[in-house]
């Protein structure tokens, strides 16, 4: 369990989580999965944004930390801290909004897939993958969720994406398969907006891949290496097209 000094009497959130919270419907019942001291539920209750919340933690130590934070602010009646894996802490349809933040996109997609029997199609999903947002978009599209909005924010030299979805007919993606695959990777709304933060993120990724490509070209020549070089060059060309 983390120390009491890390807990907050009047909860504040960083820029990343403020963006996540901005998409929670007013008066919702919130489920915050992987809740990290239950800061998001505590903040939302203190600000009068939601009615009540469930804070889910998979391990006992983080659950105890969340329990301590909730007790500190006196919100035991409004916030139910539960121990369990992913969406297993919920009853079907119990939450109006579900937040999953600060994890890899592959893990978020796995949590949604393993717990999808707990989703009744009326909830809003607000998801903040640290990496591999493409896996989250693929899961949402494959399971009938409409991508309502996307955001990209920078904080402490790190860049984060926030994805917001509800059940419904998808309208943001192109009907052309080649374009859709690109939109799944980079984000259909983010690609169209091309904010400075979006350009920065993918320019940095481009430079990383250019460095890798240079190292590969300096390696021993072989057919397998040539194929890898061609594949890497294709990725670089795509990124240059996206940020141009």
Query: pLDDT for 157-166, tens place per residue?
Result: 999 999 999 9
Q: What pLDDT, on the 0 to 100 scale, is given for residue 221?
A: 75
Is the predicted pLDDT of residue 1 greater than 90, yes or no? no
Q: Which two tokens stand for residue 61?
A: 């130590």
Is the predicted pLDDT of residue 186 greater than 90, yes or no? yes
Share of the chain above pLDDT 90, in %: 85
Is the predicted pLDDT of residue 2 greater than 60, yes or no? no
Per the prediction, the chain carries an average pLDDT of 94
**Residue ranges of the domains in the chain?**
4-173, 198-243
Model confidence band, residue 143 (pLDDT cutoffs 50, 70, 90):
very high
Q: Given this structure, which CATH class describes domain 4-173?
A: alpha beta
């Amino acid at each position: 369990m983390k120390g009491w000094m890390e807990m907050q009497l009047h909860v504040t959130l960083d820029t990343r989580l403020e963006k996540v919270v901005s998409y929670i419907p007013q008066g919702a019942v919130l489920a915050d999965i992987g809740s990290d001291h239950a800061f998001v539920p505590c903040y939302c209750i203190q600000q009068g944004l939601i009615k009540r919340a469930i804070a889910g933690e998979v391990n006992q130590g983080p659950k105890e930390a969340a329990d301590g934070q909730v007790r500190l602010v006196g919100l035991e009646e409004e916030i139910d801290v539960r121990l369990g894996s992913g969406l297993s802490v919920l009853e079907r349809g119990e939450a109006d909004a579900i937040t999953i933040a600060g994890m890899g996109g592959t893990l978020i997609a796995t949590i949604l897939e393993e717990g999808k029997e707990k989703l009744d199609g009326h909830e809003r999903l607000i998801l903040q993958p640290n990496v591999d947002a493409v896996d989250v978009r693929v899961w949402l599209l494959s399971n009938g969720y409409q991508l309502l909005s996307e955001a990209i924010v920078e904080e402490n030299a790190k860049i984060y994406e926030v994805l917001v979805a509800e059940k419904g007919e998808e309208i943001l993606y192109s009907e052309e398969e080649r374009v859709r695959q690109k939109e799944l990777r980079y984000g259909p709304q983010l690609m169209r907006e091309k904010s400075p933060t979006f350009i920065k993120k993918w320019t940095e990724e481009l430079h990383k891949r250019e460095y890798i490509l240079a190292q590969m070209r300096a390696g021993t020549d072989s057919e397998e290496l040539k194929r890898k070089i061609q594949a890497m060059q294709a990725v670089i060309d795509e990124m240059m097209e996206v940020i141009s």
